[in-house]
Chain A
């Protein structure tokens, strides 16, 4: 069994997020009407960090939100309910906003499909973009990220674990065997 490999350490994550924050501002040509929306769980912490980095670079604190897509999943009938549903917190309307969805790992694209459905229930944004810390390939839907921290080709038998200090006590992105604890 191959040993778990560190894809990004704490400093690399920091550096990557700084670049991603810059790319988001460039993508939108500024910070007007930008809303950074993190997907529960770790996307929320990444979104918070990106908002802080944009504030440091641009001197503007953009709006942020959190999205829990549990109730929009397409696999309730097959895998059953998730133990605990998280909370969705968004600005009252997203009409005309420029939304960037932030998630830790982009894989099949089904989470993002669910997130797009949920966002549509909060209004009609002018644009929705996607920023992910790690793109591991393996898409099952026609979805792509606009801003990518790190691209890696990962075999289906492996998984990418993103650990963040806010919830996991340290920052790291680790490539591990799927069955490993």
Chain B
């Protein structure tokens, strides 16, 4: 009962380069559906999908919901704060209760790394990781790959630098795995306190100075600096962070080539990225958001269906 991606999408570390390419190639025609007057196809008609969000999210949840609705699935949103989770129910009990109502897929965001895998091993429904702790955010990684590919073409040999709080970033991890599988060269840049101790084990270059990263890279993926990091003592102040690592137009103008600028959102303007860069001609940040819906449609489509027991019967009636 598994399609070309297997039962679940838990992280890009689990996927082959072929599977990643398949998702990106499938996402391309899905873009057109969102441009239609009637932005809907009947592909997932009759399927029920639960969006189970144990952390706040606007962009990712709405993007998944649009993707589900444009494929005609029925969707239910469960936010942890308003559910029986706040009464002490365990993750598995919550999911099993939902499954007892006959659902087909669960999209889960959870503050604990590994929660989606824990769930996937215990329920029959397809599980899609919408971000877990500091582990992975595979659909964000995929939409970043699609956006980069739209602008740079084949990513083999292209130089991409991830800037900022790599230590706590699931977006960074999914990007690194995905980019490396497609043959790109990956670097990270940020204060040492916000890079993992074993950063070299990720197989990436490390830049301590943003100027050097800008000189090297063809695209920057600028991570959000979570304001809590300052209170926790990782950086002295937001202003100093901006002064040393901020992506500013003055720094970009000094580079010998134009760089694509990506940001997974939500942005802290004036901290990790300046407004004139975020809104500038090389920013593809809104393109990322548009691609997010198409990539999620592709993932839903590729995870759905595919029951070999019925396939043999159906082959006799090939259209």
Contact = CB atoms under 8 A, between A and B. Distances in A.
B314 to A, nearest CB: 4
Given A108-B317, A156-B316, A81 B302 contact: yes
A149 to B, nearest CB: 19
Interface string B181-200: 00000000000000000000
Contact of A79 (B44, B71, B315): B315
**Chain A contact surface mostly:** loop
A111 interface: yes
B30 interface: yes
A87 to B, nearest CB: 5
Contacts of B306: 79-81
Given A71-B43, A107-B319, A122-B36, A79 B314 contact: yes
Interface stretch (B21-29, B113-121, B245-253, B270-278): B21-29
A140 B25 CA distance: 32
Nearest to B22: A83
Nearest to A105: B319
Nearest to B104: A77
Nearest to A79: B311
Interface in A31-63: none
A122 B318 CA distance: 26
Interface in B268-319: 301-302, 304-307, 310-311, 313-319
Interface residues of A, number: 33
Contact of B307 (A78, A86, A107, A109): A78
Nearest to B304: A76
A6 interface: no
Contacts of A121: 36, 38, 40-41
A50 to B, nearest CB: 21
A5 interface: no
Nearest to B300: A81
- Of the candidates A78, A92, A111, A117, the one having the most CB atoms from chain B within 10 angstroms of its own CB is A78
A75 interface: yes
B233 interface: no
Contacts of B3: 80-81
A88 B32 CA distance: 8
Nearest to A141: B319
A72 interface: yes
B295 to A, nearest CB: 13
Contacts of B302: 81
Nearest to A120: B38
B37 interface: yes
B315 to A, nearest CB: 7
Given A72-B43, A84-B25, A84-B26, A77 B310 contact: yes
19 contacts: A71-B41, A71-B71, A72-B41, A75-B314, A76-B43, A76-B304, A76-B305, A77-B307, A77-B310, A81-B4, A81-B26, A81-B302, A81-B306, A83-B4, A85-B301, A88-B29, A88-B32, A93-B37, A156-B316
Given A71-B41, A85-B301, 19 more contacts: A71-B71, A71-B301, A76-B44, A78-B311, A80-B3, A81-B4, A81-B306, A84-B25, A85-B29, A87-B32, A88-B29, A107-B318, A108-B317, A108-B318, A108-B319, A114-B319, A121-B36, A121-B38, A123-B37
Q: Which 3 A-B pairs have the closest CB atoms?
A: A80-B306, A110-B319, A78-B310
